[in-house]
């Protein structure tokens, strides 16, 4: 085939050579000559493939560039949308908080029975208030969330825990209806303690263990082992930092709520430990037992602060006043002793029970002490005058457990007569009795 070397119109051109400033097209014959002259002609098909690939790369780059631009645009729009929706949600939450506070204030102003005799009208008033004040969707759901704020004959905590035998019952405080049954201990549960934020429940048992429960999940969080005999009493510190337990092995043990390990061991009693109490204002632990002694310990160091002597029988119950000024002990000698924590001396002996004093609690304002004993009675004492002000009758056997509501309006008592009773402390009378029978009650807490 003949062709003019360097002619771009050569129809037989199959090669291209860059031996000159401008590339020249070559036929096969002239390409051979160029090779002989030590030039490097390139087949046109290679160049075409290279150019095609180059064009594909450029198109891909343009496509990727457009995708990136689109992505940035979408991200910007999504951020803008989310920001607007978040602002709307924040405004809605603020409105809901305002409504909750307003309605809560209504419930706290006065007695429901006195100012809101018509239950249904009050409920409808809340509905109308929500409709007028919160112009947002799902108003029905919001109202249902506010049902807990409707007036009840009893306006206190939702659940009360009662230990019966090996199990712990969580019951609705108002109705006594069983909510859940906590199982885990292998022997009788002797004591219960609730954290101040109502999140944790501790239990001590004759199986020598302490168990920590989550109130929300109803599950065991930890099983604490160390005691060599029955765990007779438990308490949870004010900041949920530790659990303190007392046992028939004569020891008191402190357990970390972070690691669930024993961190301190208190030894000082010469016989069984039956009672524990923790102060709210300072880090003090009080313990009492079969040696008739009441020992005051420093929680963080385990050192003995002082020892109170005055009882002639087993110390069965202990409680600090909320201001931590008084430590009060109940004993099998039928007496209740009031001790000054700072003065470290006996201030008063309250006499009225005709048998052992098993359980005690104080009102939130530290004005009254309520005690329950083997004489079947609940006795109310004035802590300013140290005099008995009333006797609550209803149980037909010894009162072994007491718990008071946070607002000090209601008291729950458990007895050997297998009944759990709710008392109105303001009216100084029984409010209602849970219908079921309770065997072997060990502890009651709110």
* 428 Cβ contact list (under 8 Å, min separation 6): 380, 390, 392
**Dist. CA 153–CA 156, nearest whole Å:** 10
pLDDT band for position 164 (cuts 50, 70, 90): very high
**Contact call for residues 262 and 222 (beta carbons, < 8 A):** no
Between 216 and 267, whose confidence is greater?
267
Among 272, 228, 226, CA closest to 253: 226
Quickly count: other Cβ atoms within 10 Å of residue 292's Cβ.
19
Between 400 and 75, whose confidence is greater?
400
Burial 316-345 (b: 16+ CB within 10 A, else e): bbbbbbeebbbbbbbbbbbbbbbbebeeee
Indicate if the pLDDT at residue 384 is higher than 70: yes
Indicate if the pLDDT at residue 444 is higher than 50: yes
Residues 231-289 pLDDT 10s: 999 999 988 889 999 999 999 999 999 999 999 999 999 999 999 999 988 789 999 99
- Tell me the pairing of strands 15-17 and 24-26: antiparallel
User: What is the share, in percent, of the chain residues with pLDDT greater than 90?
Assistant: 52
Residues 393-442 pLDDT 10s: 999 999 999 999 988 999 999 999 999 999 999 888 998 898 788 989 99
Pick the CATH number of 159-445 from 2.130.10.10, 3.40.50.2300, 3.40.50.300, 3.40.50.2030: 2.130.10.10
Among 168-177, 204-213, 265-274, 348-357, the minimum mean pLDDT is found in 168-177
| Residue for token pair 């301190």 | 264
Residues 318-337 pLDDT 10s: 999 999 999 999 999 999 99
161: exposed, middle or buried (Cβ count in 10 Å: 0-12, 13-18, 19+):
buried
- The DSSP call for residue 379 is E
Q: Which tokens go with 104?
A: 């809560």
Helix (H, G, I), strand (E, B) or coil at 138: coil
Read off the pLDDT of each residue in 45-67 and give the average, rounded to a whole number. 63
Q: What is the pLDDT of residue 309?
A: 92
Read off the pLDDT of each residue in 338-356 and give the average, rounded to a whole number. 94
**Dist. CA 328–CA 286, nearest whole Å:** 10
Q: Tally DSSP H helices, then E strands, for the chain.
A: 5, 31
**Dist. CA 191–CA 16, nearest whole Å:** 100
Tally of CA atoms within 13 A in the half-sphere of 396 that contains its CB: 3
Between 74 and 255, whose confidence is greater?
255
pLDDT band for position 388 (cuts 50, 70, 90): very high
Q: What is the pLDDT of residue 127?
A: 55
* 76 Cβ contact list (under 8 Å, min separation 6): none
Q: What is the pLDDT of residue 73?
A: 73
User: What is the share, in percent, of the chain residues with pLDDT greater than 70?
Assistant: 72
Nearest-5° angle of CA 402, CA 406, CA 412?
25
Indicate if the pLDDT at residue 217 is higher than 60: yes
């Amino acid at each position: 085939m003949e062709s003019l070397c360097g002619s771009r119109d050569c129809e037989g051109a199959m090669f291209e050579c860059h031996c000159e400033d401008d590339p020249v097209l070559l036929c096969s014959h002239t390409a051979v000559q160029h090779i002989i002259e030590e030039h490097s002609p390139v087949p046109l098909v290679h160049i075409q493939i290279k150019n095609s690939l180059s064009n594909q790369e450029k198109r891909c780059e343009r496509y990727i560039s457009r995708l990136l631009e689109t992505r940035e645009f979408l991200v910007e729009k999504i951020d803008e949308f989310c920001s607007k929706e978040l602002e709307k949600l924040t405004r809605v939450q603020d409105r809901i908080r305002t409504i909750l506070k307003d309605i809560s204030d209504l419930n706290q102003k006065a007695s429901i029975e006195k100012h809101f005799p018509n239950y249904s009208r009050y409920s409808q008033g809340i509905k109308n208030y929500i409709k007028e004040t919160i112009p947002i969707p799902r108003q029905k759901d919001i109202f249902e969330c506010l049902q807990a704020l409707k007036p009840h004959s009893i306006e206190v905590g939702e659940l009360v825990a009662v230990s019966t035998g090996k199990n712990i019952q969580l019951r609705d405080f108002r109705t006594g209806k069983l909510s859940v049954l906590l199982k885990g201990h292998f022997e009788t549960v002797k004591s219960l303690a609730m954290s101040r934020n109502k999140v944790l429940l501790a239990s001590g048992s004759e199986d020598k263990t302490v168990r920590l429960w989550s109130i929300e999940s109803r599950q065991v969080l930890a099983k604490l082992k160390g005691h060599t005999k029955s765990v007779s009493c438990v308490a949870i510190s004010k900041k949920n930092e530790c659990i303190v337990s007392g046992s028939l092995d004569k020891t008191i043990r402190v357990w970390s709520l972070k690691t669930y390990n024993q961190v301190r061991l208190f030894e000082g009693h010469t016989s069984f430990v039956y009672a524990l109490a923790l102060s709210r204002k300072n880090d003090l632990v009080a313990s009492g037992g079969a040696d008739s002694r009441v020992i005051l310990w420093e929680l963080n160091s385990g050192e003995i602060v002082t020892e109170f002597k005055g009882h002639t029988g087993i110390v069965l119950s202990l409680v600090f006043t909320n201001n931590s000024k008084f430590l009060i002990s109940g004993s099998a000698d039928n007496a209740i002793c009031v001790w000054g924590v700072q003065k470290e001396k006996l201030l008063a002996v309250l006499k009225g029970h005709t048998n052992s004093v098993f359980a005690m609690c104080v009102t939130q304002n530290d004005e009254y002490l309520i005690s329950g004993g083997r004489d079947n009675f609940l006795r109310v004492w004035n802590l300013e005058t140290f005099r008995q002000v009333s006797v609550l009758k209803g149980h037909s056997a010894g009162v072994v457990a007491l718990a008071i509501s946070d607002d000090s309006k209601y008291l729950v008592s458990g007895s050997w007569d297998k009944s759990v009773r709710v008392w109105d402390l303001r009216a100084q009378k029984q409010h209602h009795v849970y219908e079921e029978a309770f065997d072997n009650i060990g502890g009651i807490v709110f």
